[in-house]
Homo-oligomer: A and B are copies of this chain.
Amino acid sequence: MKRSTKVAIVNLADFEELAKKRLPRALFEHAAGGAEDEITLRDNVVAFQRLQIIPRVLRDVTERKTDTTVIGHAISFPVLIAPIACLRRFHPQGELALVRAASNAGTISIISTGACYDFKEIATAARGFAWLQLYAYRDKAVTQALVQGAEAAGYKAICITVDVPVDGNRERDRRNSYYYPREMLYGNLKGLGVKGVSRRMNNAELLAFADRELRVALTWHYLEWLKTITKLPILLKGILSPQDAACAVSSGVNGIVVSNHGGRQLDGTPASIDALPEIAKAVGGQIEILLDSGVRRGTDVLRAVALGAKAVLLGRPCAWALAVDGEHGVSQALEILQKEFSTAMALAGCARVSEITADLIRLP
């Protein structure tokens, strides 16, 4: 990328525009698109914009601190990296470039079950800032191997996806005949010593294994078992109902991610940010709440934190930044978002993240 192009990047939307020009259309549409009519996809972004911020003035915000913690882990600002499968599609260094940028920025990457590298490679690059996003397998031995592999490699938490009992109906992928590139997926499955998987499998064999094994009756009982095989904190990713949030509290998990999977699963759900207030009420501060889907601005981070999220997950913009400029792109994206967030804090009258409270937001 030429320097002149870099000058043009002033916000996260710029990365998307550049990535659109660089990536194959089918891949871009796969990552940018959502399920069916993409109503939830669009609403995720617009819903933030509907939430008005009432700033407070005449407070000393000259020295602001954007840092916070998630599940006891210190991060530099309330933004984590959302899991996206198979990041080598976007850049040759894939997850490694991403976690280097995120760790340097002082925040956590949630690494997809479908990562291109194995746990150790990623954990080394992440220097303690990695969590595992987990897709549960029908064969509990595989799930166990994944969880314990991550734990052994130094991952710090398990974020299990609960909103994919079946794949969302992503019509763009069907029109474009888009498939994940087999040779890139599941770097972490190999060599975990689970039955039916070996380092010597080629990718076609590996993928067939995974497809066959991913149809699992993932229920609250499954979570009970999951808790027995790891000491890591567990978060549930994909909660939109206050009742499910209350169940999560009862179930003893450590946190939830309010998410509609970026509009990629059930089209027609509320925007995540619109679901947050009732969920925060149901949770009542007993466990931590994260949120993803639609975050594009520092003011969005502020809105989510004000309404009860400990932090947000940033997904697509990281993929675009990775495609545009690898590790440096992701660093730049995180820097932009942190700067925007710091500015939003100042203008809203907040010097600390703990001062970002619900009374700053006027619900529509």
Please state if A347 and B168 are interface contacts (CB–CB under 8 Å).
yes
Please tell me if the beta carbons of A162 and B343 are within 8 angstroms of each other in the complex.
no
Say yes or no: is A59 at the interface (Cβ < 8 Å to chain B).
yes
Considering the chains assembled together, what is the distance between the CA atoms of A303 and B39 in angstroms?
Answer: 15
Residues of B close to A58: CB separation below 8 A: 162, 218-220, 222-223, 236, 244, 247
**Chain A interfacial residues counted at CB < 8 A:** 63
For A261, the closest partner residue in chain B by CB is B347
B162 touches A269 (CB 8 A): no
> Which one of A61, A169, A275 has the highest number of Cβ atoms from chain B below 10 Å of its Cβ?
A169
Q: Which of A49-57, A111-119, A193-201 contacts B (4 or more CB under 8 A)?
A: A49-57
Given known A-B contacts A51-B268, A171-B10, A268-B51, A243 and B56 have beta carbons under 8 A apart: yes
Partner of A268, one of B36, B53, B349: B53
CA of A275 to CA of B174, assembled, Å: 35
Q: How far is the CA of A299 from the CA of B34 in the complex (A)?
A: 15
Residues of B within 8 A of A344 (CB): 266
Docked pose: A162 CA to B58 CA in angstroms = 6
Residue A8 CB within 8 A of the other chain: yes
Q: List chain B residues, Cβ under 8 A from A299.
A: 36, 266-268
User: A166 contacts the other chain (Cβ, under 8 Å)?
Assistant: yes
**Does A29 have its Cβ within 8 Å of any Cβ on chain B?**
no
Contact with B along A255-287 (1 / 0, CB 8 A): 000000000011111100001000000000000
The answer, yes or no, to whether A62 is at the interface (CB within 8 Å) is: yes
User: A57 contacts B346, CB within 8 Å?
Assistant: no
Pick from A52, A163, A236, A238 the residue with the most CB of B within 10 Å: A52
Is A362 among interface residues, defined by CB-CB distance under 8 A? yes
| Residues on B with beta carbons closer than 8 Å to the beta carbon of A240 | 54-55
Would B275 and A216 count as touching, CB distance under 8 A? no
Q: Which residue of chain B is the closest to A172 with respect to CB atoms?
A: B10
Is the CB of A252 closer than 8 A to any CB of chain B? no
A54 touches B275 (CB 8 A): yes
Encoded as 1 (CB less than 8 Å from any B CB) or 0, chain A from 156 to 177 comes to 0000001101101101001100
List 30 A–B pairs whose Cβ atoms lie within 8 Å, in order of A's numbering: A10-B171, A10-B174, A11-B171, A52-B269, A52-B270, A54-B241, A54-B269, A54-B270, A55-B240, A55-B269, A56-B243, A56-B244, A58-B162, A58-B218, A58-B219, A58-B222, A58-B223, A58-B236, A59-B165, A61-B217, A163-B347, A166-B343, A166-B347, A168-B347, A169-B343, A265-B347, A266-B299, A266-B347, A267-B297, A267-B299
Having A58-B162, A165-B349, A169-B343, one finds 15 other A-B pairs with CB under 8 Å, namely: A11-B36, A36-B299, A36-B340, A37-B49, A37-B297, A53-B266, A55-B240, A58-B219, A58-B222, A62-B217, A165-B346, A265-B347, A266-B348, A267-B299, A270-B362
